[in-house]
Amino acid sequence: MISHLYILFFFFVTIRASSYLHPVIKCPEEDSIRKCLDQYHIKGPVNFRNNTVAYNKDLNFEYNLRVIHFPVAFVHPIDVFDVQNAIKCAVKLNFPIVARSGGHSYEGYGLGDKDCSLVVDLETLNKIIIDIASQTAIVETGNKLESLYYETNRHGFAFPAGVCPYVGVGGHITGGGVGHLNRIFGLSSDNVLDAQIVLANGTIINSAKKYPELFWAIRGAGNAGYGIITTLTLRIYPIQKIATRVALLYDFDQTPLVISVMNQLGGNLHRNLTVLIRISSDAPTTVEGIYLGSANESQPYLQEFIKLSKPKSITYFENDLYSILTEGKESTKTPGFYKVKSFFIDSTGLSYEGIKYFMSFTKSIKCAVNNHVMLLNGGKVNDIRRNETAFIHRDN
C-alpha cells in the first residue's frame, strides 16, 4: 500500500477596492420565475435583482470576487420543501438552478457558471445534532465547518475536514474534504453515512444510502449537480480533551531540506500527527503539526523530523481541538480576487528538480500575497479503495 499523499495548494491574492458589482438588466423570463416561486409558496426570502440591498449582500457572500455571475435571484429556503419548490419552478421554466452553501468555491460555482441562474442559498439551514451513542452528527448543509468543529468538540468528538473553518459544509464535505485529520480518520466524504437530497425531478430522497449509485456519487462528487443536498449524516470520532499544535519555523532557503525530510518520513509519521507546510516568499517556511494528544505525548513522533530538518524555532500550544483548528483563522470573510490551483503529488514526493523549480517559481510570482500550502495526506485516505466512492485522488 502506497503510504502517503501530498496536496499542494497554490494561493494568489490581489485585493482591489471596487464597486463593480452591478448586474445588467432583468433576466429573460424573470417575471415567470418570480410568479412561479410565488405560486409554489416559497416561505423563505427570495431576492431578485431589483431588491438591490439584499441582492448585493447575497452576491458579496462569495469569497472570491474574481469570478462573479449575476443570478436571476437568491432563494433562501427555510426547509427542504422550499428547496423542492425552487427546483420544481426552475425545471418547469428551464432555469439553471444551483446550490450554494458556504460560498467558498474559488471559481464561483455557487453562483452557477453563467448569469441568470437561480441560486438556492442554504445558509439558513444550519442545524447540527450530535448523537453521542451512535457517534454520528446530522448536519444541515448551510453550516460552516467552524460550527461543526465547535459542536463536535463540545461533545468530545472530532470530524476530519478542511483547514479553513469558514468553508461551507455543502460544497466541501460532499466534494472530498481535505484537511487535518485525514490521515487518521479519512476524508470528509469518506465519513458521510447518509444524506437527504432533493433530485432534479423534485423528489426528496430522505436516505441516499438506499440508492447505491447516488450514494457512491455524493461521496466525492456531491457538489457536481446530482441534486441539492440538505442534510448529511456523518461519522464522528471520540478524541482526547487536549490536542497540541506544534509550529516549526525555517528560513526560506531550508525549504528543500524540509520537503526532502517530508519525502523521507511522511509515509511513516504517526497518524495522530497531521502536518502542513506553508511556503511563502516573504515569510518563514513553517511546518504546522496538530497532534491528537498532549505536547509530551507527541514527542516520540516528532523527534526524528526535528532532528533531520533542523528548525530555527519550535513552539507548542496545548488546547482543545476546536481552539487549535480555529485560532488565528480569519473569523470574518476576506473577499478578494483570488486564483488557486491544487495538485496531488505521488508517494515518491517532489523530486529535487521539482523542488528547485518550485522555489524559483515562488520567488518569481508578483502578487499581493502568494502562498503555497502542502498537506501531508494518505494514511486512512489510502486504506479506502479508489472505486469505493467518487473521490478518485487516492494512492498519490
Ligand X SMILES: Cc1cc2nc3c(=O)[nH]c(=O)nc-3n(C[C@H](O)[C@H](O)[C@H](O)COP(=O)(O)OP(=O)(O)OC[C@H]3O[C@@H](n4cnc5c(N)ncnc54)[C@H](O)[C@@H]3O)c2cc1C
Per CB under 6 A, residues contacting ligand NAG are: 48, 50-51, 199, 201, 203, 239-240, 272, 292-294, 296-297, 385, 387
Q: Report the alpha-carbon distance of residue 84 to residue 99 in Å, rounded.
A: 12
**Cα dihedral 27, 202, 85, 56 sign:** negative
Which positions from 166 to 205 touch ligand X by CB under 6 A, shown as an x/- string? -xx-xxx--xxxxx--------------------------
Q: Which does 177 bind (CB under 5 to 8 A by kind): ligand X, ligand NAG, none?
A: ligand X
Other C-beta atoms lying within 10 Å of the C-beta of residue 242: 17
Task: Please answer whether residues 374 and 277 qualify as being in contact, where contact means their C-beta atoms are separated by less than 8 angstroms.
Answer: yes
Distances (CA, A) of 17 to 21, 45, 103, 106, 305: 11, 29, 20, 19, 43
Report the residue from 84, 85, 101, 389 that binds ligand X according to the rule CB under 6 A. Answer: 101
* Residues 6+ positions from 271 with CB-CB distance below 8 Å: 183, 184, 379, 380
- Helices vs. strands in the chain: H and E counts, helices first: 12, 18
| Residue 69 touches ligand X, criterion: CB under 6 A | no
| Residue 71 touches ligand X, criterion: CB under 6 A | no
Report the residue from 6, 55, 95, 109 that binds ligand X according to the rule CB under 6 A. Answer: 109
Q: Provide the minimum distance between the beta carbon of 58 and ligand NAG in the complex, in angstroms, as a whole number.
A: 14
Q: Which does 50 bind (CB under 5 to 8 A by kind): ligand NAG, ligand X, none?
A: ligand NAG
Task: Please answer whether residues 264 and 308 qualify as being in contact, where contact means their C-beta atoms are separated by less than 8 angstroms.
Answer: yes
Q: Provide the minimum distance between the beta carbon of 264 and ligand X in the complex, in angstroms, as a whole number.
A: 25
Residues 116-135, interacting with ligand X (CB under 6 A): 122
Q: E strand or H helix at 152, and its extent?
A: helix 145-154
| Residue 184 or 259 having the CB closest to ligand NAG | 184
| Residue 262 touches ligand X, criterion: CB under 6 A | no
What's the gap between Cα 69 and its chain centre?
Answer: 21
| Residue 97 or 167 having the CB closest to ligand NAG | 97
Residue environment code for 210-220, b if the CB has 16+ CB neighbours within 10 A, otherwise e: eeeebbbbbbb
| Residue 229 touches ligand X, criterion: CB under 6 A | yes
Q: Provide the minimum distance between the beta carbon of 107 and ligand NAG in the complex, in angstroms, as a whole number.
A: 29
Q: Which does 387 bind (CB under 5 to 8 A by kind): ligand NAG, ligand X, none?
A: ligand NAG
Q: Provide the minimum distance between the beta carbon of 217 and ligand X in the complex, in angstroms, as a whole number.
A: 11
95: which DSSP letter? -
Give contact residues for ligand X (rule: CB under 6 A). 63, 98-106, 109-110, 122, 141, 162-164, 167-168, 170-172, 175-179, 222-223, 228-229
